[in-house]
Structure 1
């Protein structure tokens, strides 16, 4: 674990969060879309394994978050506004980087306090290069260290950490899977839909 283990998981509350969105609608993130069949099968197996403890209406497409951008905005009023100009400049910066397609390794089940996930490792160190390039245009909206991961779902109840770890340890998927990444997507979702789907704003193909 990259952080100190909590005593309990943190359930996601089904409510509006006006103190976060202030009436703004669309939240933007750079993602690595996940469409590989074997990886999706492992993700579905993990969701079933933890199903009693997760919200059941999670509809967000499988993805690995690369960079958290903020709220879509024409001009910046708040620190977490992400302007259309910044969006265009980030797309251009990634295109100029001319990054080749690369591979990530998808491991077993693990968890943050608020969400279980499949482990992701980056043996080629490409994610750091991509994130550094994006950061030159616009600062990331982040409250914790970046840990690449594939979200399984969100907890609907508080569980003791020991209970969760016992369940995780019984998910026997020790062998890693290779995920080939050939595209980066700038995506957004509605702030009013906690588990809503991603909509693509732009796509940057990798060579």
Structure 2
């Protein structure tokens, strides 16, 4: 049988039916295709940006929380903490002998014009540091709140008047292992010399 005869025979045969899936298979296939289409056109999440009018109150609330908390500096153990009490006194808790100038800056922000030095064990500042020593230094420390064994001191900033400076020298002997902490204070209305370390009594 040649090609022409095959073509003639093919024309005489009834046309083939197109292959069709059973109805339940067609339904499953349609659901699968529609699911894939929905996932492709799913809207992406948009980043919510706060308007300036909303952002400002949020930042103000965060700042208010920060101002109300005691300031704590240092690594794993705080170098110090300083906070203002309801009665106006300032509570200082020392953790180690670091950052005296940062403590000095925090006290000045609280309205206390102070010069702060931390003294190593067995050392003191060479005297005299001030020319005019005012007689109100003994009233600066609030005795009932002082806990020398824990390095806690309460001072009354109202004792230091406008135009005056308080010199605070902290000496920690064995602090953290049952030792005691000491604070000496001098109030002056004149200049204050930088602390020059010298041997203390008995060194």
Structure having greater relative contact order (Cα 8 Å, sep ≥ 6): 1
Normalising by structure 1, we get a TM-score of 0.22
Normalising by structure 2, we get a TM-score of 0.23
Flag the structure with higher helix content.
2
Structure whose CA Rg is larger: 2
